[in-house]
A and B are shown apart, each in its own frame.
Chain A
Amino acid sequence: MNRTPMILLVDDDDGHLMIAERAIRRSSLDVEVHVAHTGQEALHELGIAEGQTINGDPFLEPVLVMLDLSMPGVSGWDVLRRIRNHHRNIPVVVVSSSGRPDDVRRSYEMGANSYLVKRYEADRPGGYLADAARYWVELNQPPIPVDN
């Protein structure tokens, strides 16, 4: 059973979520996009929330998590820590409006695969997010068998 790979976008900013979702959908990437508006929601989506049992279905795992850091309640830091505590090798790209060197360093130390500072590109809104998503999704896909 083959399922479409899924990308999880986590952000409390609806506008940003919309831009990111639209940018990824508009790109030629064949992925499903799930969005989570809070950290708690993201944990549920990942099946690693408090009291949740791991269902063990690898096909339900997203191939990429794009994670905002600053969120009310369960923050991006918490989500990142929880993902790494459950030995998930899911690529996590932190997307934050903070460009503080401290935040960047801490994210990498906690296991983030990449760190993007949010920016606005008038000619291609969210284009950089779509590019990043393409990179990570294609990197993690099994090699295409050579057809003789």
Chain B
Amino acid sequence: MDNRPEPVNGIPRRATWMWRLSMLMSFAILGIATTLVIWWSAMRDSNRMAAASLSQVAREIHSVLNVRVERHVEALRNLAQFWQLHGLLPQEAWDFNCEMMIRNFRGIEWIAWVNGRTGSHRFASRDTTLHLDESIVRMARERARTPGMDSRASTSGSNVLVFTPVRTPQDSIGVLVAAISPAKLVGHEYLTSGDIIAYSVTGGDGREIYRYGEAAHHVPGGMSIEQNLPQAFGDMWIVRYDPTPKYLLGVVSRWHNYFLLTGVLLSLALGAIAFQFVTLREYSVALAVTNRKLDAQVRELSERDRMMRRMNDELEQRVEARTAQLGEAMKELEAFSHSMSHDLRSPIGAILNYSSILEEDFGQKLDTEGLRVLHRIRDSGQSATRLLDQLVQFVWLGREKAEKSDVNMTMLAREAFQEVSAGLPADHLKFDLTELPQARGNAPLLGRVFRNLLSNSVKYTRRSQAPRIAVGGEERSEETAYWVEDNGIGFDPAQAETLFEPFRRLHSSNDYEGAGLGLAIVAKIVRRHGGRVWAESNGVGGARFGFSLPRDGVPA
């Protein structure tokens, strides 16, 4: 199982891109649609209001138009009846009547009388420079001859010609012709301004008679009004009322446009906010997922931590138990070594003591062979004692406290050599001692190292022709090395590693006495000082035993 915590990843941003975009689009479209609906309904309302006020104006205008047209028609009819009742009027009466008519009815441009039979005619005009046109006379005579003919309008230039027949019950007399100017008839004076409304008057034949103001090109539905003007001099006039562009502009206020613009912008902003919100939500979801993962990892880690602590505790307990066991073992070892040094030494000592007593008291009674056996007993006892001594020393080596100090190794080596070579012929053994580097350690223990190494050398050079022992030393980068060299019998180089093991003997104990612990004690002391030991030999003759001590005197 992989114990590493998983890497933490959120949802990749690209995965939710389409969704977020669609959120943006839907919010924007919804907002724009809402804005449009509100805008449209507001526009409709304002249009309706505008149409209402427009139709109010149109109605008022229309009623004025209606009244005026009716009055003109009525005046002309009254003149005709008057004419009919009183017969042909004298010229003065005609002039007077016409003058009154023209003054009071401003739509009338001129009035003419045409006799249907004779073609004679009278003419009265607002503009005195005008004359009656022959064609109009012809037209009037034509009309007079047509029976059942009532007032009939027809256009001439900018005027509407109204023909009103005058007849007796038996016969037709003539035709009264009036030129009526629609512009003057419907006139502007009622309208304070042409800003609001424009209107056009169309005759029954579809020809436009009059137009006032400029109508807007695109008029919203319901704003244009068409109304009939029925009593228009025997004709049916149709008046169409339209809003002016200026009025329309006033109706569709700029606030509507601002509202539309603001709404669209707000919708886009809302979409963007929704987009950001969704993005944020995605992030927060990713964050929550990450958090959950992290939580899980933290939990797992703390669980692991707890487990580690538990294992540590167990380990500590085990170490304590082992330490206790070790202490127990050490105590046992102490007891054992005590028993070695006392209980075992005592019987051996007894053997030695009794053999001495035997020799002293009964020596004379033994022959040479008997004495030799007695000596062998004594020798064996002595070597057993030596073995015990060394064994105890070896065992106790690790237990003693070793005070450290600066040690003069040269002096130590010299003293050791003097000790081990005591009793030997002084000139026989050549001893070379160079100046050795100082060391830091326990002097008695280091002295024992030299003693053991030198006694070994002394032992194994005993049979050499010119025995020579040399002690040397040098400072190296991290350690100080010392060695004891001799030209003795040497040893098998293959055995160099095992030499320092306890009870390891390479030579017969008959030839060379010793318990086999000397080098083991050396190794133990050197290792306690943090150093190392080695042995070199070519296998033929001579050996070199070395040991090193750390330069800074690291304690064991």
A interface list, Cβ under 8 A from B: 13-16, 18-19, 22, 70, 96-101, 118-120, 122, 125-126
Q: Are A13 and B352 in contact (CB under 8 A)?
A: no
Indicate whether A97 sits within 8 Å of B354 (C-beta atoms), given known contacts A13-B346, A118-B349, A120-B385.
Answer: no
Question: Contacting A120 at CB < 8 Å: which of B342, B349, B396?
Answer: B349
Indicate whether A125 sits within 8 Å of B353 (C-beta atoms), given known contacts A101-B400, A120-B381, A120-B382.
Answer: yes
Question: Contacting A19 at CB < 8 Å: which of B357, B381, B382?
Answer: B357
* Sampled A-B contacts (29; CB under 8 Å): A15-B349, A15-B353, A16-B349, A16-B350, A16-B353, A18-B354, A18-B357, A19-B356, A19-B357, A22-B357, A22-B360, A96-B342, A97-B346, A98-B342, A99-B341, A99-B389, A100-B338, A100-B341, A100-B396, A119-B385, A120-B349, A120-B352, A120-B353, A120-B381, A120-B385, A122-B352, A125-B352, A125-B357, A125-B360
Q: Are B342 and A19 in contact (CB under 8 A)?
A: no
CA distance A120 to B351 in the complex (A): 10
Query: Which chain B residues lie closer than 8 Å to A18 at the CB level?
Result: 353-354, 357
B70-114 contacts to A (CB < 8 Å)? none
Interface residues on B, range: 20 to 34
Q: Are A97 and B350 in contact (CB under 8 A)?
A: no
CA distance A118 to B353 in the complex (A): 11
Query: Which chain B residues lie closer than 8 Å to A126 at the CB level?
Result: 353
Indicate whether A122 sits within 8 Å of B378 (C-beta atoms), given known contacts A18-B357, A97-B342.
Answer: yes
Q: What string of 1s and 0s marks CB contacts (under 8 Å) between B175-200 and chain A? A: 00000000000000000000000000
Query: Which chain B residues lie closer than 8 Å to A19 at the CB level?
Result: 353, 356-357
Question: Contacting B392 at CB < 8 Å: which of A13, A16, A99, A122?
Answer: A99
Q: A19-B356, A22-B360 known; 14 other A-B pairs, CB under 8 Å?
A: A13-B350, A15-B354, A16-B346, A18-B353, A22-B357, A98-B341, A99-B341, A99-B392, A118-B349, A119-B385, A120-B381, A125-B353, A125-B356, A125-B357
B304-338 contacts to A (CB < 8 Å)? 338
Q: Are A13 and B382 in contact (CB under 8 A)?
A: no
What DSSP secondary structure best describes chain B's contact surface? helix
Q: Indicate whether B404 reaches chain A with its CB closer than 8 angstroms.
A: no
Question: Contacting A13 at CB < 8 Å: which of B338, B349, B385, B400?
Answer: B349
Q: Are A97 and B352 in contact (CB under 8 A)?
A: no
Q: Indicate whether B211 reaches chain A with its CB closer than 8 angstroms.
A: no
| Residue on A nearest B400 in the bound complex, by CB | A101
Closest Cβ of chain A: how far from B400's Cβ, in Å? 7
Closest Cβ of chain B: how far from A78's Cβ, in Å? 17
Query: Which chain A residues lie closer than 8 Å to B352 at the CB level?
Result: 120, 122, 125
Most A CB within 10 A of own CB, among B345, B351, B353: B353
Query: Which chain B residues lie closer than 8 Å to A119 at the CB level?
Result: 385
| Residue on A nearest B341 in the bound complex, by CB | A98
CA distance A119 to B389 in the complex (A): 11
Query: Which chain B residues lie closer than 8 Å to A14 at the CB level?
Result: 350
CA distance A70 to B345 in the complex (A): 12
Query: Which chain B residues lie closer than 8 Å to A120 at the CB level?
Result: 349, 352-353, 356, 381-382, 385
5 closest A-B pairs by CB: A15-B350, A15-B353, A125-B356, A120-B352, A19-B353
CA distance A37 to B62 in the complex (A): 167
| Residue on A nearest B354 in the bound complex, by CB | A15
Query: Which chain B residues lie closer than 8 Å to A16 at the CB level?
Result: 346, 349-350, 353
Closest Cβ of chain A: how far from B331's Cβ, in Å? 13
Closest Cβ of chain A: how far from B348's Cβ, in Å? 8
Most B CB within 10 A of own CB, among A13, A19, A70, A101: A19
Closest Cβ of chain B: how far from A121's Cβ, in Å? 9
CA distance A100 to B400 in the complex (A): 10
CA distance A98 to B385 in the complex (A): 12
Q: What string of 1s and 0s marks CB contacts (under 8 Å) between B379-422 and chain A? A: 00110010001001000100010000000000000000000000
Query: Which chain A residues lie closer than 8 Å to B349 at the CB level?
Result: 13, 15-16, 97, 118, 120
CA distance A143 to B395 in the complex (A): 47
Query: Which chain A residues lie closer than 8 Å to B345 at the CB level?
Result: 97, 118
CA distance A43 to B396 in the complex (A): 34
Query: Which chain B residues lie closer than 8 Å to A122 at the CB level?
Result: 352, 356, 378, 382
